[in-house]
């Protein structure tokens, strides 16, 4: 009897489901705790921290300083539990994965850091870096959006393919990519955690960049909830029609007087009467009308 196809592994089990090069990295990490008979390509080496350069394909732009200091204190006591991954680059080494561990090792005063040296092309290194970051929970929404954008532009991946490689829903990938259409100043608010991804998604419902910026600024100033922003967007997209002006109720004598004046002066006349007191309003549509009415009034003296 045929067994059912094995389901795709869930996130959190490493990069082995993503691409061949990543499977090699995961195998190397597991092998570091095994007996010493290891292939040369997967041996964990202690590499001087000053010989390692940052990853040029890193999509993360910020790190939590408190968490980084906590990791540094842990490394002081227990060392680096999981080796970082690097590749050789012009006599030096370039990070592929493990930037936080490398930075924390420096803060802990460690002269070296355990690392696995892999032979990777630029494309492999970039894809591993981006996908590993997308599996993390501490990327801000804008960093995630830019990571998906790079996968699309530099690797030609569709939204469905990106969803499969990162374990996300395709709709989530689409929402992150749409996020980048917001005005740059609004994206800065999201990066600074002044607005959440929920706020940003609500703002996407507006068409005008000016309207988006105005509402985003108000949301920050008033600490508006996502529900409140959604309500404001709905009201802006579905404005209530202006209330009709109440119809004038005129005394028949007043209406007759208006009509007589309009025939005599050739302009629209409105009499506003309140219990025998009021005013007469003459409406002219051109300077010629004004001069003509003024001349008629002067000649009647």
CA distances from 272 to 211, 248, 259, 263, 298 (A): 41, 10, 14, 18, 23
In the chain, which residue ranges form alpha helices assigned H by DSSP? 20-31, 65-78, 99-107, 122-134, 141-155, 159-166, 170-179, 184-191, 197-203, 209-221, 226-237, 252-265, 287-299
Nearest residue to 123 via CA among 156, 160, 98, 159: 156
Quote the radius of gyration of the chain (alpha carbons, Å): 35
What is each CA distance from 16 to 13, 21, 23, 234, in whole angstroms? 8, 8, 4, 44
Bridge partners of 278?
273
Residue found by looking up tokens 């990070």 in the block: 95
Q: Is the dihedral of CA 108, 109, 114, 117 positive or negative?
A: positive
- As annotated, the active-site residues are 99
Give the closest residue to 219 by CA, choosing from 177, 189, 260.
189
- Kindly state the tokens that stand for 190: 């999201």
User: How many CB atoms are closer than 10 A to CB 83?
Assistant: 22
Name beta bridge partners: 85: 97, 116
């Amino acid at each position: 009897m045929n067994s059912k196809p094995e389901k795709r592994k869930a996130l959190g089990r490493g990069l082995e489901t993503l691409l061949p090069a990543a499977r090699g990295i995961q195998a190397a990490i597991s092998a570091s705790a095994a007996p010493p008979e290891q292939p040369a390509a997967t041996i964990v080496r202690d590499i001087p921290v000053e010989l390692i350069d940052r990853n040029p394909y890193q999509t993360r732009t910020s790190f939590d300083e408190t968490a980084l200091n906590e990791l540094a204190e842990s490394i002081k006591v227990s060392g680096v539990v999981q080796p970082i991954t690097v590749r050789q680059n012009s006599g030096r080494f370039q990070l592929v994965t493990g930037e936080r561990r490398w930075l924390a090792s420096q803060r802990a005063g460690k002269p070296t850091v355990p690392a696995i040296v892999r032979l990777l092309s630029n494309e492999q290194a970039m894809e591993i870096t981006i996908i590993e970051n997308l599996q993390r929970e501490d990327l801000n929404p804008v960093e995630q959006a830019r990571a998906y954008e790079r996968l699309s532009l530099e690797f030609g991946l569709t939204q469905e393919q990106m969803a499969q490689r990162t374990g996300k829903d395709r709709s989530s990938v689409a929402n992150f990519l749409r996020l980048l259409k917001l005005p740059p100043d609004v994206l800065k608010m999201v990066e600074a955690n002044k607005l959440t991804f929920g706020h940003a998604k609500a703002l996407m419902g507006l068409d005008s960049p000016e309207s988006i910026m105005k509402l985003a600024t108000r949301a920050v100033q008033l600490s508006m909830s996502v529900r409140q922003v959604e309500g404001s967007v709905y009201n802006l997209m579905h404005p209530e029609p202006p209330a009709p002006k109440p119809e004038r109720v005129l005394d028949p004598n007043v209406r007759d007087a208006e009509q007589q004046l309009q025939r005599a002066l050739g302009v629209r006349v409105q009499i506003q009467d309140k219990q025998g007191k009021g005013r007469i309003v003459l409406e002219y549509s051109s300077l010629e009308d004004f001069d003509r009415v003024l001349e008629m009034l002067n000649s009647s003296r």
